[in-house]
Amino acid sequence: MLANSFCFARQKPFAALLLLGAAWLWCGTARAQYQNPGSPSQPEAPTPGTSPDRPRFSVDATLQLGETGQPTVRLDYRMSRSELLFERTPPAGYHAAYEVRVIFYREKGERQVTGDTYTRELRAPSYAATRQRGEDIADHLDFQLPPSKYRVSVAVTVLVAERTSATTVPIEVPAAPVGLVWFSDLTLGVLEPPSGGPDARFVPNPSRRYGDNIVAFAASGEIFDRRPEQTADSTYRLYYKMAAETGEQVVGGDTTFAKHAGRTSFLLRPRLVNLGAGTYRLTVAMNVPPKAGSKEKSTTIRRDKSFDVDQSRATMGFASAQSVDVLRYIATREENDEIGKLTGEEARKAYWDGFWKRRDPTPDTPENEARDAFYQRVQYANQHFSTGGPGWKTDMGRIYILFGRPDEVVRNPFNFDRPPEEIWYYYRDRKTFIFVDRDGFGRYELYNPPIGP
């Protein structure tokens, strides 16, 4: 087992951080049916809260109530130990260290409000222990800030390798004072082990992305009750629902928790069955009755949080045939022949596993960057190019999945002598694709001009 000894060092706040600007290229004055895929066709736009480069880590910000009773911003971060580089430390053992750098900027004016750096160290008794997989590094940092909207910049540096990556997350500290009954933000995570039991523990999932671990999905929060009177009820009833991007509710229910003095922590474990890949939103609500004898109405406190479900073995039961068919876009001729012979869900799952195992650029790590990047494009295509069917089956969806974001998009929605068109330019690949809306209903198809005179 990997024996870790964490050394926590708080260093002096630093003054500035270099900000990189992003230039946006905008063409035309009219909008077409689909959202502009954007530019450039380099790496896909990173998801806020997830670092685009190594060391790979994820971070999420939630508003909690600190020990003093004041709103506190909690930053949960998570990183695989495989991202660290260990070096031998005489006379025996191995050592690794990383630094977390946090800066809060006011959203309005981009003014830096506060910042700090933190250092963590890990030690392993042997080289074999440094290579051990599993048990990701998961920790959190707490900050108290004045009311405002913030952009939080978080950077992690692996000190031995001198390698840094960064990401940002938004958070708002409301100006309204904390009421007598207060509900923290939801923290999404997983239950380990997924089967539960007395020894199970809740582990935050800051990326809010799920794959096979969707079966262990859980959400936690805290109710803070400062009402002086003793109410007749000794429990809290929470109502929850989970909805897809379309607004369709996929899970709903209510549960009851015993009330504790002052603070009451809760853990929700909605049963997720046949959940397909996509984006979802979990909403949790609680009704607060008025004071005894008061003519006021009950109030409702709500908290919600979105999360993404990636294509995985756990979600293939939702549409296993579709999950394999989309692989035809990048499969070899031999692999396409195999896909045509697959029958049954288990056969498709086994094929899917082998397909992505062959393409994993880092087989020694839990991540499969090729698979994740592919399904991020599939998800984008389904979100933006669906017209009566899945977006990945459309011409625009297929081109986006194969080539990513175009370098430039030109739209001509008001042509006098031909249908509306949209042109995607890929300068690096020296490719141009023209899509036309032949029937005027926003169904853009790839234009294939006739061959010959």
Q: Are residues 261 and 290 in the same domain?
A: yes
User: How many whole angstroms separate alpha carbon 391 and alpha carbon 387?
Assistant: 7
Question: Is residue 424 one of the residues assigned to a domain?
Answer: yes
State both tokens at 161.
Answer: 């390798």
DSSP state of 50: B
Query: Could you tell me if 228 and 185 are in contact, meaning their C-beta atoms sit under 8 angstroms apart?
Result: no
Nearest to 132 by CA among 422, 420, 366: 366
User: How many whole angstroms separate alpha carbon 387 and alpha carbon 34?
Assistant: 10
Q: Are residues 232 and 192 in the same domain?
A: yes
Burial class (CB in 10 A: 0-12, 13-18, 19+), 85: middle
Question: Is residue 140 one of the residues assigned to a domain?
Answer: yes
Query: Could you tell me if 42 and 453 are in contact, meaning their C-beta atoms sit under 8 angstroms apart?
Result: no
CATH number, domain of 293, equals 2.60.40.1930
Q: Are residues 146 and 215 in the same domain?
A: no
Query: Could you tell me if 77 and 57 are in contact, meaning their C-beta atoms sit under 8 angstroms apart?
Result: yes
Q: Are residues 207 and 277 in the same domain?
A: yes
User: How many whole angstroms separate alpha carbon 49 and alpha carbon 152?
Assistant: 9
Chosen domain end from 263, 286, 309: 309
User: How many whole angstroms separate alpha carbon 203 and alpha carbon 217?
Assistant: 10
Question: Is residue 207 one of the residues assigned to a domain?
Answer: yes
Query: Could you tell me if 155 and 166 are in contact, meaning their C-beta atoms sit under 8 angstroms apart?
Result: yes
User: How many whole angstroms separate alpha carbon 102 and alpha carbon 142?
Assistant: 11
Sign of CA dihedral 140, 145, 151, 153: negative
DSSP state of 132: -
In the chain, the number of structural domains is 3
* DSSP three-state, residue 328: helix
Per-residue model confidence as pLDDT tens digits over 11-38: 434 333 322 232 222 333 333 334 455 5
Question: Is residue 391 one of the residues assigned to a domain?
Answer: yes
Contacts of 420 (CB under 8 A, 6+ apart): 32, 411, 412, 413, 414, 436, 437, 440
Question: Is residue 403 one of the residues assigned to a domain?
Answer: yes
**Residue 243, pLDDT score:** 92
Q: Are residues 162 and 188 in the same domain?
A: no
Nearest to 37 by CA among 364, 426, 327, 412: 426
Chosen domain end from 290, 309, 328: 309
State both tokens at 313.
Answer: 């073995």
Q: Are residues 280 and 374 in the same domain?
A: no
Chosen domain end from 167, 199, 222: 167
Query: Could you tell me if 178 and 69 are in contact, meaning their C-beta atoms sit under 8 angstroms apart?
Result: yes
Domain of residue 100 covers 54-167
Q: Are residues 160 and 211 in the same domain?
A: no
Query: Could you tell me if 291 and 229 are in contact, meaning their C-beta atoms sit under 8 angstroms apart?
Result: yes
Per-residue pLDDT of the chain (453 residues; tens, 9 = 90+): 344 433 333 343 433 332 223 222 233 333 333 445 554 444 455 567 888 888 989 999 999 988 777 889 999 999 988 888 999 988 889 999 999 999 999 988 788 999 899 999 998 888 888 876 666 889 999 999 999 999 999 999 999 989 999 999 999 998 877 778 888 999 999 998 877 777 889 999 999 988 888 889 999 999 988 877 655 568 889 999 999 887 889 899 999 999 888 889 999 998 887 777 888 999 999 988 777 666 777 788 999 999 988 877 777 665 667 778 889 999 999 999 998 888 888 888 889 889 999 999 888 777 788 888 898 888 888 888 887 778 888 999 999 999 998 999 988 877 777 888 899 999 988 999 999 988 776 788 898 755 444
CATH number, domain of 68, equals 2.60.40
Pairing of β 209-210 and β 299-309 = parallel
**Residue 434, pLDDT score:** 93
Q: Are residues 297 and 190 in the same domain?
A: yes
Q: Are residues 68 and 162 in the same domain?
A: yes
pTM for this prediction:
0.74
Q: Helices 395-403 and 369-384, interaxial angle, to 10°?
A: 150
